[in-house]
């Protein structure tokens, strides 16, 4: 009996470990940064999601900059974004007497988070701010067309700017929508064929045939729409080109995602 009990306990432990691995979240840097920004209080001045800054009496620009439209007036590189977060100002702005005078007139002033955030935290916040600002943009024309179509089709409404966030999705397997540059993506989309099925049908045939997958897909609050009748012929190749570009590892994107290996 002891041997049987030991085997049962071992199987339970293995099942629990497997479940923990499957359910473990793999949030991309931009999403980790978004959640950190919310916890750190960034949205108090920069507005919901960092997209609508609060009024700032005394300043000639009148409002706190939002990440989406105003960022390029203040920071043009990842390092400059990091300087703003870490030091409250870039070295270039600090050297400007005009900027210092404007800062003194403003009611709201950017705080310095040096000593409060780790280097990894700064990396994630930079990734989030860059994603919100649409930085960087694809140089490849097909990938750029894919990003434009993703915006026109409403994909970024759920998946966030550039498809780089992992917003909450109650009832889903991991509780959030997968980002296109995240570690979860290959679990759902193995190749260009499955990608086309997701876009056109709202689900891949592989997961549609899986009972457990169907359970979680059906239980999720937010469900992937079927775009089949709303697509133009070049859309899927362009979207796939953008996803492949996004998943190309590189410090500019703040991602460690692995590339996807085939073409539509």
d(CA 142, CA 42) in angstroms, rounded, equals 35
Residue 1 falls within a domain, yes or no?
Answer: no
Report whether 70 contacts 53 (CB < 8 A): yes
Q: What does the pLDDT read at residue 61?
A: 86
Residue 16 falls within a domain, yes or no?
Answer: no
**114 shares a domain with 53:** yes
Residue 259 falls within a domain, yes or no?
Answer: no
**112 shares a domain with 54:** yes
pLDDT tens-digit map of 53-94: 999 999 888 899 999 888 878 888 999 999 999 999 999 999
**145 shares a domain with 235:** yes
**240 shares a domain with 173:** yes
**76 shares a domain with 49:** yes
pLDDT tens-digit map of 145-183: 999 999 999 999 999 999 999 999 999 999 999 999 999
Residues paired with 168 in a beta bridge: 176
Residue 253 falls within a domain, yes or no?
Answer: no
pTM beyond 0.75, yes or no: yes
Q: How many domains does the chain have?
A: 2
Residue 4 falls within a domain, yes or no?
Answer: no
**123 shares a domain with 34:** yes
Six-digit token pair at 124?
């994630």
d(CA 40, CA 109) in angstroms, rounded, equals 15
Residue 193 falls within a domain, yes or no?
Answer: yes
**123 shares a domain with 35:** yes
pLDDT tens-digit map of 234-263: 999 999 999 999 999 764 455 545 556 564
**241 shares a domain with 148:** yes
**100 shares a domain with 52:** yes
Residue 5 falls within a domain, yes or no?
Answer: no
54 three-class SS = coil
Q: Which residue has the tokens 């089949």?
A: 228
- If you count DSSP H runs as helices and E runs as strands, how many of each does the chain have, helices first? 14, 0
**240 shares a domain with 159:** yes
DSSP string, 227-243: -GGG--TTHHHHHHHHH
125 three-class SS = helix
Residue 17 falls within a domain, yes or no?
Answer: no
Residue 92's domain comprises 29-133
CATH for 241: 1.10.760
């Amino acid at each position: 009996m002891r041997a049987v009990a030991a085997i049962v306990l071992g199987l339970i432990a293995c099942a629990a470990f497997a479940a923990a691995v499957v359910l473990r979240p793999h949030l991309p840097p931009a999403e980790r940064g978004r959640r950190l920004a919310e916890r750190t209080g960034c949205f108090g001045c920069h507005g919901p999601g960092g997209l609508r800054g609060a009024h700032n009496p005394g300043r000639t620009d009148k409002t706190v900059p939002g990440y989406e439209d105003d960022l390029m007036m203040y920071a043009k590189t990842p390092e400059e974004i990091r300087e703003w977060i870490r030091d409250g100002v870039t070295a270039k702005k600090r050297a400007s007497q005009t900027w210092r005078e404007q800062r003194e007139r403003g009611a709201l002033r950017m705080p310095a988070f040096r000593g409060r955030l780790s280097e990894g935290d700064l990396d994630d916040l930079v990734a989030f701010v860059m994603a919100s600002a649409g930085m960087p943009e694809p140089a490849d024309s097909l990938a750029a067309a894919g990003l434009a179509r993703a915006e026109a089709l409403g994909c970024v409404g759920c998946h966030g700017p550039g498809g780089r966030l992992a917003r909450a999705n109650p009832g889903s397997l991991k509780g959030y929508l997968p980002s296109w540059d995240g570690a979860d993506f290959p679990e759902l989309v193995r190749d260009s064929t499955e990608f086309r099925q997701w876009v056109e049908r709202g689900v891949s045939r592989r997961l549609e045939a899986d009972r457990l997958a169907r359970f979680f897909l059906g239980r999720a609050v937010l469900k992937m729409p079927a775009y089949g009748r709303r697509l133009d012929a070049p859309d899927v190749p362009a979207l796939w080109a953008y996803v492949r570009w996004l998943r190309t590892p590189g410090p500019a994107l703040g991602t460690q995602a692995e590339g996807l290996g085939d073409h539509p």
